[in-house]
């Protein structure tokens, strides 16, 4: 997969990436909650000029069952153009797709085909033996390897979670990334300020805390994660933790500024145990230390208990449950998905410390089940969950499933399956783009990756 010239989908700067051509395909991880059928990668046509626009045009089943596909990433991206990259001529060709429940990691070839072809499976035993981890989650393409976060330990250990590094070319597991993890134990997402050699990680819970659903005693006991961790990327060592306060449970997705000269980013927090609100925080470096400040607070919404699942009936309210955020490549817009209330919000974050809400749309939601305008008679379950932004910032894609055990708790009569697209100039749903129901063959859609890269896939070394 070595090229004579850099891959044309790599861009030295976010400014260059924002001028990239529009994606024509979207890859969507889809899983079978019952574990009776294989999970799959679905491929959606995103070319408005195509007769198949908005439909599933490719499909690849996994070889086994019970994987619970969740997050995934590319084998290579724009970070390969960084000055210190030893692999400048790698090719964006393979999707690296972990099974969050099985701990297997799947490698799919996407070149010259619509339906990806499975070319390699890294078994859970290999990940455990080489890196000491299980439950792989986030995948990022670094200049010197593939980084894969993991929620759990191995060999019967619940934790700590951490990061494994894979070889760019062979996909062999090289080992555990951390040399000194300091106080870090819980893990979830990670990303970096690559030019400043800073890695940031967030916290969810260990496998025993999440795999059977959200545990009320742990949540009210403030036992889930509530910290951000800052690391020396080069030395692979823990530098500092920032505690958001234990009432702020589960800081999940991390979105650093794409501009490599800026050292700030956003973290979404699922819920406050004090008032069921959700929040977004800005991290920054000042006075020689990392700090974080809450910049967005989204309140819970009162609701008739008869419309709520048992887990929420005592509260008489729906928490927003911010489960994903995404930052446009030009660092000007932040999109926040509220899976509980069924809302997607658009913020102007040109001042990262003073976000301004510009617009919002409702679809699905625990209490309201708002329909998509393409099918106004169809109440939708689930809510905006995974959110992905195109490189030019003009399109936002949504899917509706969060995590199997959580789906069952918050949407006990079924979460359904749907995907939507928003045109950001008008901030309206595209009524031509609404794959749903049987289009996903009974599986639940989760993360989206766009052909050629997107707003959460690439890192840049030049402003």
Q: Is the pLDDT of residue 433 over 90?
A: yes
Average pLDDT over residues 138-166: 95
Whole-angstrom distance, CA of residue 428 vs CA of residue 369: 18
Average pLDDT over residues 216-236: 97
Give the chain's mean pLDDT: 96
pLDDT band at 3 (very low <50, low <70, confident <90, very high): low
Of 151 and 88, more confident: 151
pLDDT band at 144 (very low <50, low <70, confident <90, very high): confident
The two structure tokens encoding residue 421: 């697209």
Q: In the chain, count of helices (H) and strands (E)?
A: 5, 30
Whole-angstrom distance, CA of residue 458 vs CA of residue 141: 7
Average pLDDT over residues 147-151: 98
What is the side-by-side strand order in the sheet with 264-272?
248-256, 264-272, 278-286, 289-298
pLDDT band at 83 (very low <50, low <70, confident <90, very high): confident
Q: Is 12 left (phi over 0), alpha (psi -120 to 50) or beta?
A: alpha
CATH, range 14-450: 2.130.10.10
Indicate the pTM of the whole model: 0.97
The two structure tokens encoding residue 249: 């449970």
Residue-level pLDDT at 85: 78
Average pLDDT over residues 331-346: 98
Nearest CA among 300, 459, 308, 326 for reference residue 389: 326
Q: Is the pLDDT of residue 431 over 80?
A: yes
Average pLDDT over residues 379-398: 98
Report the DSSP beta bridge partners of residue 81.
none
Residue-level pLDDT at 1: 52
- CA atoms within 13 A of residue 358's CA, in its CB half-sphere: 16
Nearest CA among 414, 403, 313, 431 for reference residue 364: 414
Q: Concatenated DSSP letters for 9-37?
A: T--SSHHHHTTSPPPSEEEEEEE-TTSSS
Q: Is the pLDDT of residue 217 over 70?
A: yes
Residue-level pLDDT at 4: 66
- How do residues 174-198 score in pLDDT, each as one tens digit? 999 999 999 999 999 999 999 999 9
Q: Concatenated DSSP letters for 171-226?
A: --EEEE--SB-TT------EEEEGGGTEEEE-----HHHHTT---HHHHHTT-S--
Q: 214, 411 in Cβ contact below 8 A?
A: no
- The beta strand positions in 258-355, using DSSP E, are 264-272, 278-286, 289-298, 301-302, 317-318, 322-327, 333-338, 343-348
- Counting residues of the chain whose pLDDT is more than 90, the rounded percentage is 95
């Amino acid at each position: 997969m070595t090229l004579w010239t850099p891959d044309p989908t790599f861009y030295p700067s976010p400014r260059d990436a924002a001028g990239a051509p529009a994606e024509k395909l979207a890859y969507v991880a889809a899983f079978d909650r019952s574990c009776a059928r294989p999970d799959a990668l679905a491929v959606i046509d995103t070319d408005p000029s195509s007769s198949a626009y908005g439909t599933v045009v490719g499909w690849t089943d996994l070889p086994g069952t019970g994987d619970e596909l969740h997050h995934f990433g590319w084998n290579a991206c724009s970070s390969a153009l960084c000055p210190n990259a030893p692999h400048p001529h790698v090719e964006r060709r393979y999707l690296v797709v972990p099974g969050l429940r099985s701990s297997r990691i799947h490698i799919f070839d996407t070149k010259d085909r619509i339906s990806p072809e499975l070319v390699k499976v890294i078994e859970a035993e290999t990940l455990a033996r080489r890196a000491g981890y299980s439950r792989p989650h986030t995948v990022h393409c670094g200049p010197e390897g593939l980084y894969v976060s993991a929620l759990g330990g191995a060999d019967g250990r619940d934790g700590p979670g951490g990061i494994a590094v894979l070889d760019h070319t062979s996909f062999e597991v090289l080992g555990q990334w951390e040399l000194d993890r300091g106080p870090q134990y819980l893990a979830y997402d990670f990303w970096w300020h690559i030019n400043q050699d800073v890695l940031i990680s967030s916290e969810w819970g260990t496998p025993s805390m999440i795999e059977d659903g959200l545990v009320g005693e742990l949540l009210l006991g403030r036992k889930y994660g509530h910290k951000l961790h800052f690391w020396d990327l080069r030395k692979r060592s823990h530098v500092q933790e920032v505690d958001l306060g234990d009432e702020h449970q589960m800081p999940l997705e991390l979105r650093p500024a794409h501009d490599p000269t800026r050292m700030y980013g956003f973290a979404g927090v699922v819920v406050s145990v004090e008032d069921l609100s959700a929040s977004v925080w800005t991290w920054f470096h000042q006075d020689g230390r990392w700090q974080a400040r809450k910049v967005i607070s989204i309140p819970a919404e009162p609701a008739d208990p008869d419309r709520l699942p048992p887990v929420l009936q005592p509260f008489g309210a729906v928490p927003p449950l911010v489960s994903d955020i995404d930052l446009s490549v030009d660092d000007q817009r932040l999109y926040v998905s509220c899976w509980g209330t069924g809302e997607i919000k658009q913020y102007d974050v040109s001042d990262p410390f003073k976000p301004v809400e510009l617009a919002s749309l409702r679809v699905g939601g625990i209490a309201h089940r708002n329909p998509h305008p393409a099918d106004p008679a169809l109440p939708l379950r689930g809510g905006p969950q995974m959110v992905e932004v195109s490189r030019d910032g003009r399109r936002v894609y949504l899917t509706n499933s969060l995590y199997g055990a959580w789906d069952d708790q918050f949407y006990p009569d079924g979460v359904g399956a749907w995907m939507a697209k928003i045109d950001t100039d008008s901030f309206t749903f595209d009524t031509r783009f609404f794959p749903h129901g049987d289009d996903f063959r009974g599986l639940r859609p989760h993360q989206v990756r766009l052909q050629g890269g997107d707003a959460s896939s690439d890192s840049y070394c030049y402003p």
